[in-house]
Every structure is written in structure tokens, then in C-alpha cells.
Amino acid sequence: MTVNPLYDSLFDLHAGKETPFLILDSGKVISHRAFLAMAARFAGHLTKLGLSPGDRVAAQVHKSPDALALYAACVQAGLVFLPLNPAYTHGELGYFLENSGAALLVCDGAEAAALRPLAERMNTQLATLNADGSGSLSDGASVCPDTFATVARQGGDLAALLYTSGTTGRSKGAMLTQDNLISNARTLVDHWRFEANDVLLHALPIFHTHGLFVATNVTLMAGGAMIFLPRLDIDRLIDLMPRATVLMGVPTFYTRLLDDPRFTRDLAGHMRLFISGSAPLLADTHRQFETRTGHRILERYGMTETNMNTSNPYDGERRAGTVGFPLPGVTLKVTDPDSGEQLPQGEIGQIEVRGPNVFKGYWEMPDKTAAELRADGFFITGDLGRIDADGYVHIVGRNKDLIISGGYNIYPKEIEMLLDEQPGVLESAVIGVPHPDLGETVLGLIVPAPGASPDLDAIMAAAQVDLARFKHPRKLLIVDALPRNTMGKVQKNLLRDQLSETFTTP
Ligand code: MCA
Ligand code: AMP
């Protein structure tokens, strides 16, 4: 009898298998059985800490097999996994703890002393897990048994809470249910033909949907293996590619590979599949990749709130500059942003999606949920697109003020609020401009207060204290005024056009 649908579909089938699951750069191999024993020990310890089903477990830890086992442990113990980018500052972390009411924060040992007062203030327990697997969590788990009585859950219960930044500058916790994750993993295993003999080259972070659910859940469900690298390192990717069958990455993975002469048709020839997502893959990159390797990258489109929505076909034409077709079970429509009415085929509008993949809403933010998730189940993605005559979905822009840098989402509002507070600043605008490596990067424009000469170095230093590194403006510029439309709204498109070559010309 199914007691915990997600645990049963991802893990249970392979629990006894000695087949490889994680292949580490050190050469160490962790089998499916050993991984689940590790997860069971963590689950035992989490229960001993007094956590009960539905409690949130925040994990701000480095990528490691143990960090992945913590995810599996949360599923098995009925806890809600809340992964966080280690780049977040303590200030940013405080917001996530407070908003989620996390019962436990797992952090790196090096951060524990500094974070203890924050955790105490939030009434959150603290445990440590270091990149090498040591720490108080592993110490506690080491005396727990290799098996754990899986906690019963239902498909509609929460499995994970993933924060996504908001246009107002405050992050929102997307509530993902067991069914959301299971249905998407099932669809992708089938659509991308994942099998037990697949070996995925995994160099993505595991605190986002892409590296955690798309890559990991799909491999787990198929019973395959992952070459598990701590981060993107092109040398390691090239060295290890001969042992892999599939690579998943953001477009920066592919542009960096193409920049390397060692990445040849011979090296890539045996690979079964290259998948790209999280940010637009330039049609030019798609073509260059095909010329170099003979492979067509399979581009797909997803969101934290929806998991994967569309994918180019496995067998049919993988069309450059498109994100393919809606996945089975997903309904996608293009609507008029003002009226919400569906537009005729071929017209550009906002993309809305509905299906078993679509989340349950934002954690304790009913107004924001109501604004983006319609009563009939359609989620308003904030992306602008069109469907061509052959049914391929094209993403042509965004109806939301969002920058995607190397696959990380950055909401300008959060940075503008900080810049506006700095001495000598009247107002600011933060825009994304093209960047050869990251796709887009952050440019901050500052309008000085009358008679003031803002100190750009001091402003940059202030941003560095409060914001995660990937959100830091790569450059700040002084401008006299910001262009506004008749409604008084800053015309960021004009700024982007004027400044689009800031990082692309030498
Ligand atoms: C690192 N840095 C960044 C980024 N990453 N700055 C801006 N944008 C970034 N994405 C900082 C580093 O801290 C470093 O700071 C400096 O920039 C240069 O770092 P570099 O060595 O080039 O970075 P890297 O370690 O090579 O990382 C680049 C990366 C990485 C490989 C593109 O960011 C990455 O793995 N991105 C994937 C993100 C992802 O998985 N997104 C999925 C979310 P300093 O100068 O101080 O040293 S979206 C999602 O899940 C949806 C559902 C979907 O559709 O998939
Ligand atoms: P996130 O909120 O981090 O889940 O990011 C989701 C956003 O990433 C989407 O709303 C899109 O704007 C963008 N995105 C994801 N995949 C693609 C893609 N293949 N092409 C263009 N944009 C994408």
C-alpha cells in the first residue's frame, strides 16, 4: 500500500539496489541502497530532534551527497524541504526563516556561531552539515538505524517550499506538493526517455528546481546514476563527459563548453542528450552546438511554481529559439495581459499554464496567490510568448521586471530599494543587460539627489553587505534622470536599449 507517494515513486523502488546512484569526483560511488540508508539515518535524527510532519527544514548548505540525502530524509519523514542558496546573506536568510517559520535550520559549520542568535530569535533549531558530510546533523544521524518507518503522506501534502523573488522585492515561498513533483518527474522520465543505464552529468546547484527536481527526481525515478560535481567546472565536465549519457544545464554551461576547444564532436559523440533551461538559449548557441557536435540541444521551459511546462521533442525537430510543446497533461495558453482573454494563435501575449505540475500557492500569501493563480487553475507565468503555426512555444520576453543571470533570478526591485536608501541617491533603476557569459547581468543606474555626488564605491559596498553576491550590480552608473512614460513608470526598455552594449563591447 502506498503510504508516502513521493517516497515510494522516487526512492522505494531502488532501495535495495547496489547499483550506482552518485558518482563523486573523488571516484567514490554511492549506491541507491547506501544513499537511502544515509537518508533513513537523517530521517531518524530529524525525528529525534522533535520535528513532526509538515515542519519546514531550511537547508543552507553546500552541495554534497549528504545535502541530497537530507532532501530524501525530509520526504521520508514527511517534512517540508526548504533549500536555500548558500550565497544568501544572513539578512536574507532571516527573512526566509521568519516567513516560513522553519523548525530547523541546517547550515555550514563555519556559519553556525554567527547564525545562532538569529536562529534563537526565530525559535528555530540549528544543526550543521559541512561540504565533507561532517557536522552535528551527521553526528546525530550516525547513531540512528539504516532504516526508517516512512511517514504517511498524501499527494496533496507539501513536499517542498522554494522561495522565488517577487516583483515587490519580497520573496514568496512556492508550495510544491508531492503530486506536483511526482507528476512532473513521471512526465519527464517518459518524455526524455530516461532509463536505469543513464548517467547524468550533474553540475547544477541543488537548491533550485532545475538541479533538485528536474535532474535528481528524474534520475531517481529512472533508477539511473549522477556524476555529482560540486559546481560547474568546465575542466571536470570535459574530463568526465566520456562516462556520462546526459547533461542538463543552464545556457552558460553550453556557451562555456563551446568556448573550449577540447569540447569536440568526438567528446560529445556518445552522449544521448543535452538539455538546456532556466534562461533563454540563444538560437545562435543552439546552431553552433549542432555544428560542433552534431547534437541538437533540447530546450525546455519551466518555473519554480510550475516545474516543467514545455519541452522540445525527443524524436521530432528540436527547434532553435523555441521551448517546444506543452508537456503531456499541461495546458498552455497565450492571453491578453489586460483582459486575460485567450489570444488567437500566433499573437504575442502572456503565457498561462495549468496542470498537475502547478503549485498550490504561495506560503501564507493568499493575496499574491490570488493575483497569479486563477480560480480555474491557470497560473500567470509573467512570461510573454507566442505559439507558432506548428505549435512550438516561443518565449519573446517578460511581463515581469526580472533579470536572469546565469540561470539565477534577480528582481530589480530588491536592489533598487537598497540603492534608494544610500546617501546622495534620489532614485535608482536596476536593469538587466546582455552579458556574453551569464546571458544577462545587473546594471544599476543612480540619479543623484540635487547637489549631491553619491559615492559609487560606498554604494557598491553597501549592496555587498546586504545582498547575495549574484545580485550585486556588476556596474553602477550615474544618470541625470530616468525616462518615464505618461503614467510616471520608468521605461526600462529604453534604458536597456541605450545600455545594451555595456558588457558586450570590449
Ligand atoms: C556565480 N556568480 C554569479 C552567478 N553565479 N553572478 C551572477 N550570476 C550568476 N549566476 C558570482 C560568483 O559568486 C563569483 O563571484 C562570480 O559571480 C563569478 O563566478 P563564476 O566562477 O563565473 O561562477 P560559477 O561558479 O562558474 O557559476 C556560474 C554558473 C552558476 C555556472 C552559471 O551560477 C550556476 O550554476 N547557475 C545555475 C543556476 C540554476 O540552477 N538555476 C536554475 C533556477 P566572485 O566574483 O565574488 O568570485 S531556475 C529553475 O530552477 C527553473 C524552474 C528552471 O526552468 O529551471
Ligand atoms: P524561476 O522563478 O527561477 O523558476 O525561473 C523561472 C523563469 O525562468 C521563467 O518564468 C522564465 O522567465 C525563465 N525560463 C525558464 N526556462 C526558460 C527557457 N527555456 N527560456 C526562456 N526563459 C526561461
The CB of 224 under 6 Å from ligand 2? The reply is no
231 C-alpha to ligand 1 centroid (Å): 9
Instruction: Please report, in angstroms and rounded to a whole number, the separation of the first and last CA atoms in the chain.
Output: 63
Q: How far is the CA of 409 from the centre of ligand 1 (A)?
A: 10
Instruction: Give the closest ligand to the alpha carbon of residue 188.
Output: 1
Task: Write down the pTM of the prediction.
Answer: 0.96
Whole-number Å distance, alpha carbon 219 to ligand 1 midpoint, is: 23
Residue nearest to atom 10 of ligand 1 (CA): 406
Is residue 381 over pLDDT 70?
Answer: yes
Quote the mean pLDDT of the chain.
96
Name the pLDDT band for 399 (thresholds 50, 70, 90): confident
159 domain residue, yes or no: yes
Cα(261) to ligand 1 centroid in Å equals 22
Position 170 scores a pLDDT of 82
Q: Are residues 361 and 252 in the same domain?
A: yes
Residues 384 and 236 in one domain: yes
Domain with 362 in it: 232-398
Ligand 2 contacts CB of residue 432 (under 6 A): no
Q: Is 308 in the pocket of ligand 2 (CB under 6 A)?
A: no
Q: Look at residue 1 and tell me whether its pLDDT is greater than 90.
A: no
Residue 288: CATH number of its domain: 3.40.50.12780
Residues 53 and 155 occupy one common structural domain: yes
Domain membership of residue 223 (yes or no) is no
- 3-state percent breakdown (helix, strand, coil) of the chain, nearest 5: 35, 25, 40
Q: Are residues 168 and 53 in the same domain?
A: yes
Identify the nearest ligand to the CA of 279 by its number.
2
pLDDT above 70 covers a percentage of the chain that reads: 99
In a domain, 33, yes or no: yes
pLDDT on residue 2: 57
CATH of the domain at 464: 3.30.300.30
**Ligand 1: lining residues by beta carbon, under 6 Å:** 204-205, 208-211, 231-232, 250, 252, 277-278, 302-304, 405-408, 438, 469-470
Task: Give the pLDDT mean for 369-393.
Answer: 97
**DSSP result, 222-271:** HT-EEEE-SS--HHHHHHHGGG-SEEEE-HHHHHHHHT-TT--HHHHTT-
Over pLDDT 90: what percentage of the chain?
Answer: 94
Q: pLDDT at residue 181 above 90? A: yes
Confidence band (pLDDT; 50, 70, 90) for 506?
Answer: low
User: What is the per-residue DSSP string for 406-426?
Assistant: TTEEE-HHHHHHHHHTSTTEE
> Cα–Cα distance between 201 and 432 in angstroms, integer?
30
Higher pLDDT, 14 or 291: 291
Task: State in Å: Cα 278 to ligand 2 middle.
Answer: 4
pLDDT, position 488: 85
Same domain, 384 and 260: yes
Is residue 504 one of the residues assigned to a domain?
no
The stretch 14-19 carries a mean pLDDT of 88
- Nearby residues of 249 by Cβ (< 8 Å), 6 or more positions away: 203, 204, 232, 274, 275, 276
Q: Which residue owns the Cα nearest ligand 2 atom 6?
A: 303
Check residue 504 and give its pLDDT.
81
* HSE, side-chain direction, 13 A CA sphere, residue 171: 24
Which residue has its alpha carbon closest to ligand 1 atom 27?
Answer: 232
Quickly state the pLDDT bin for 13 (edges 50, 70, 90).
Answer: confident
Identify whether 471 is part of a domain: yes
Asked whether 37 and 135 are in contact (CB, 8 A), the reply is: no
155, part of any domain: yes
Q: State whether 298 and 373 are in the same domain.
A: yes
252 plus 133 within the same structural domain:
no
Phi, psi angles (nearest 5°) of residue 42: -60, -45
Question: Is the per-residue pLDDT at 404 higher than 90?
Answer: yes
Q: Are residues 493 and 466 in the same domain?
A: yes
Q: Give the residue, by CA position, lying nearest to ligand 1 atom 33.
A: 406
Domain boundary among the residues 367, 398, 429 is at: 398
Residue range 491-500: mean pLDDT, rounded: 94
Instruction: Give the model's pLDDT for residue 164.
Output: 92
Q: Is 277 in the pocket of ligand 2 (CB under 6 A)?
A: yes
Tell me the DSSP string of 447-504: EEPTT----HHHHHHHHHHHS-GGGS-SEEEE-S---B-TTS-B-HHHHHHHHTTTTT
